[in-house]
Amino acid sequence: MGAPDFDAVRGYLLDLQERICATLEACDGAGAFREDRFEGEGGTLARPRVLEGGEVIEKSAVHFTHSRGASLPPAASERRPELAGAPFEAVAVSLIVHPRNPYAPTSHANIRFFMAHPASAGEAGARSEPQASEAQNWWFGGGFDMTPYYGFEEDCVHWHTVAKAVCAPLGDDAYGRYKKWCDEYFFLPHRGEPRGIGGLFFDDLDTPDFDTCFAFARSVGDGYLQAYIPILERRKLTPYGDRERDFQLFRRGRYAEFNLAIDRGTKYGLQSGRRVESVLASLPPLVRWRYDWRPDPSSAEERLTQHFLVPRDWLAGG
């Protein structure tokens, strides 16, 4: 079904970054992404883009990276111990959107592709990077998830309807597997609660073949905008006051806790020596913590954790 085509994945992700940034700028209507560019040997590239202080989007980061390394970082080889220390090449788009309006949810998406050459692992000085034609291991990872601050059934149903549809290239059972994985991964064990309402999460995807896996990765990347933009457009002008804003900042604290303490992507970025400003650009611009604060019983704020931040089948009407 075709050998892995690193250049094709790279080209798709560069275009995906362009399309997502253009769509988010149009939705905001005023803000624009700032781009930094860091080029390395052999075509490697880091192209982080950040929008801050927009009318609709308080902060968004949409990063493209193409990297090579002599040793696969622990966060990337955690599920593939046989590749620990292997030279690798990777390409990815990772993004986060933190809207200004508390009724508009935060969203996150990531598509990544790795190629590694374990035969060179431990060969000091033999080579510092894998050659794509020789790579014996490749895999895709990524997904998308959504974190509301005030929950709406129709938003959750729409989000998961798109999530299920984008899994078509892998068959009928893929959505159930990757939804469950997402619920389990985006979970704060120290809080005993999910980060949001989930979506899709997958990693180490290399079967049945490259063409099928790449088609699925493209479906996820393209599906993110289909899933998120209608929700952002629906909620971005909802009236709100100090109470809603205060709760949004409080709940953003949970988001920051996950990214800093648990997220493999953050750990990978720091372990691989990437620019710290880029790695931590996913953090919200403003956050608030309170000591042992709890929402009023039967309030919309309590309903978030009691009804929405509970893993369930959003497409079953329950």
Number of domains in the chain: 1
> Residue 106 belongs to what domain range?
6-308
What's the CA gap between 200 and 240, in Å, rounded?
30
On whether residue 86 sits in a domain, the answer given is yes
On whether residue 52 sits in a domain, the answer given is yes
On whether residue 232 sits in a domain, the answer given is yes
Q: What is the CATH number of the domain that holds 303?
A: 3.40.1500.10
Q: Which of 251, 235, 223, 97 is nearest to 154 (CA)?
A: 235
What's the CA gap between 258 and 264, in Å, rounded?
10
On whether residue 213 sits in a domain, the answer given is yes
Angle between helices 210-235 and 6-28 (to 10 degrees): 10
Residue-by-residue pLDDT tens, the chain, 318 positions:
578 999 999 999 999 999 999 999 999 999 999 999 999 887 889 999 999 999 999 999 999 999 988 777 666 666 666 766 778 899 999 999 999 999 999 999 999 999 987 754 444 333 344 444 444 689 999 999 999 999 999 999 999 999 999 999 999 899 999 999 999 999 999 999 999 999 999 999 999 999 999 999 999 999 999 999 999 999 999 999 999 999 999 999 999 999 999 888 788 778 777 788 888 888 999 999 999 999 999 999 999 999 999 989 999 964
Write out the two tokens for 112. 């990544």
Which positions are annotated as active-site residues?
Answer: 108
Backbone phi, psi, residue 202, to 5°: -145, 155
On whether residue 158 sits in a domain, the answer given is yes
What's the CA gap between 216 and 236, in Å, rounded?
30
On whether residue 314 sits in a domain, the answer given is no
On whether residue 207 sits in a domain, the answer given is yes
What's the CA gap between 270 and 151, in Å, rounded?
33
The dihedral through the CA atoms of 210, 127, 272, 38 has a sign that is negative
On whether residue 318 sits in a domain, the answer given is no
